[in-house]
Amino acid sequence: MNFPWFKRIGIFFLPKVLVGWIILLVAIAYAVYQFIDIDSRSHSVSDTLINFFFMLLIIGAVYSLIAFFTSRPTNS
């Protein structure tokens, strides 16, 4: 890969090119979809938030893995 899709700032990855922005927007859209889906099946606010928290962890982990492997290594 000739150019990085993401730039690492601390523990966060920010998109640098269009592909990175598309991946970020897809992750956010999928998180919103999952929240609506979980909320439609849950019986309380705490039930919704607990189930959504674990789904958000999975979405964040997948985003971080993609960003980690498509970013330029830092020279610390």
- Residue 61 DSSP one-character state: H
Q: What is the pLDDT of residues 54-67, one digit of tens each?
A: 999 999 999 999 99
Token pair in block for residue 17: 């090119």
* Biggest CA-to-CA distance, the chain: 49
* pLDDT value for 75: 65
* pLDDT value for 63: 95
The pLDDT mean for the chain works out to 90
**Residues in the chain with pLDDT values less than 50:** none
Name the pTM for this structure: 0.85
* pLDDT value for 2: 62
Amino acid identity at 69: F
**Secondary structure of residue 19 in the 3-state scheme:** helix
Residue extents of the structural domains in the chain: 6-69
Give CA–CA dist 6/2, Å, rounded: 12
* pLDDT value for 31: 96
